[in-house]
């Protein structure tokens, strides 16, 4: 296996800017990205790194809103580095999220294998953890589920493992089209399909019993009415990707759309909300 010199960039920014940086870094040639509690961790080959291009991107979004550190990573076997640094996650002792190189845990009811090369949604971020925790308590059996902004498709995989009859997962990032199907295969998922686009461009057919949306506050506010239009009655909408301080604004909009608040979950200042559509 060829060994490559890499540049690591550790961004400190808001959840909204993290979403933007994911798309921008993908265009710059990033080979690995992971959402962190502080923002985003990115790795790309040193030959692809151009700090002038990076600064031009940051200036577009306001350098006062983003800080970063750049490190040079010595030549090494990159897969071995992932094995050292990508730890499995246990969710409520009911679900293990691991990579293929980790040992299985037969005592855990649900196991999700995520290839960490493009690791948006590995359970390490609080919002993914919250979504999985809620899914573990929600009846998916025989349900039709939509995973909005699916990333690695981790939530879609959980939905199928929990008994969903059909799962549609979509994202507007091109890396999803490559990474998510790989994760579906790793988890032997046959009832989940991946689409590229947004809820307003995909022309989805029919309605869904459960809609999962772990994105960011601005996108959730913009798209919530579309989610409601695709929800069955009764149906359940689960939202995350925002700070607890933003929950009230989302609850207010949800109420205006006829949704009934069920519960809120919080982890490390991040929040998730569950609504019923009746």
Beta strands in the chain (DSSP E): 4-12, 32-35, 39-45, 67-76, 89-91, 95-98, 110-113, 144-148, 166-171, 192-196, 208-214, 231-243, 260-267, 270-277
Both tokens of 164, joined, read 């969903």
**Strand, helix or coil for residue 156:** helix
* pLDDT at site 74: 62
Q: Give the domain ranges of the chain.
A: 4-83, 125-277
**Strand, helix or coil for residue 207:** coil
Nearest-angstrom CA–CA distance, 232 and 277: 7
CA distances from 156 to 65, 85, 169, 218, 271 (A): 32, 25, 6, 22, 19
Distance between alpha carbon 30 and the CA centroid of its chain, in Å?
17
CA distances from 124 to 61, 65, 208, 213 (A): 26, 23, 27, 17
* pLDDT at site 244: 93
Q: Name, in order, each residue with C-beta under 8 angstroms of 26's C-beta and a sequence gap of 6 or more.
A: 33, 173, 174, 175
* pLDDT at site 254: 98
Distance between alpha carbon 55 and the CA centroid of its chain, in Å?
26
**Strand, helix or coil for residue 70:** strand
CATH number of 4-83: 3.30.70.2170
Nearest-angstrom CA–CA distance, 204 and 207: 8
* pLDDT at site 38: 84
Q: Report domain 125-277's class.
A: alpha beta
pLDDT digit string (tens) for the chain, length 278 residues: 344 577 889 999 987 788 788 878 877 877 777 777 788 888 888 888 888 988 888 888 887 889 999 888 765 555 565 555 678 889 989 999 998 888 899 999 999 998 755 445 666 788 999 999 999 999 999 999 999 999 889 999 999 999 999 999 999 877 677 789 999 999 999 999 999 999 999 999 999 999 999 988 889 999 999 999 999 999 999 999 888 999 999 999 999 999 999 999 999 888 999 999 99
**Strand, helix or coil for residue 193:** strand
């Amino acid at each position: 296996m060829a060994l490559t010199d890499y540049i690591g960039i550790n961004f400190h920014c808001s959840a909204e800017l993290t979403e933007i940086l994911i798309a921008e870094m993908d265009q710059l040639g990033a080979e690995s990205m992971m959402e962190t509690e502080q923002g985003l961790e990115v790795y790309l080959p040193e030959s692809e790194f151009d700090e002038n291009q990076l600064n031009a991107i940051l200036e577009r979004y306001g350098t006062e809103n983003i800080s970063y550190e750049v490190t040079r990573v010595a030549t090494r076997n990159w897969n071995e580095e992932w094995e050292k640094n990508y730890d499995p996650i246990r969710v409520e002792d009911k679900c293990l999220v691991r990579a293929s190189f980790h040992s299985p845990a037969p005592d855990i009811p649900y196991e999700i294998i995520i290839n960490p090369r493009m690791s948006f949604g590995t359970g390490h971020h609080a919002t993914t953890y919250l979504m999985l925790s809620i899914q573990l308590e929600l009846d998916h059996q025989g349900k039709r589920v939509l995973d909005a902004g699916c990333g690695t498709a981790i939530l879609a995989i959980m939905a199928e493992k929990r008994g969903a009859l059909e799962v549609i997962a979509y994202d507007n990032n091109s890396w999803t089209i490559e990474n998510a199907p790989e994760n579906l295969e790793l988890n032997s998922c046959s009832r989940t399909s991946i689409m590229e686009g947004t809820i307003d461009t995909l022309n989805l057919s029919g309605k869904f019993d459960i809609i999962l949306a772990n994105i960011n506050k601005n996108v959730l506010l913009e798209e919530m009415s579309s989610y409601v239009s695709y929800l069955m009655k009764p149906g359940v909408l689960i939202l995350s990707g925002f700070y607890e301080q933003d929950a009230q604004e989302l609850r207010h909009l949800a109420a205006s759309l006829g949704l009934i608040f069920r519960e809120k979950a919080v982890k490390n200042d991040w929040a998730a909300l569950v609504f019923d559509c009746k």
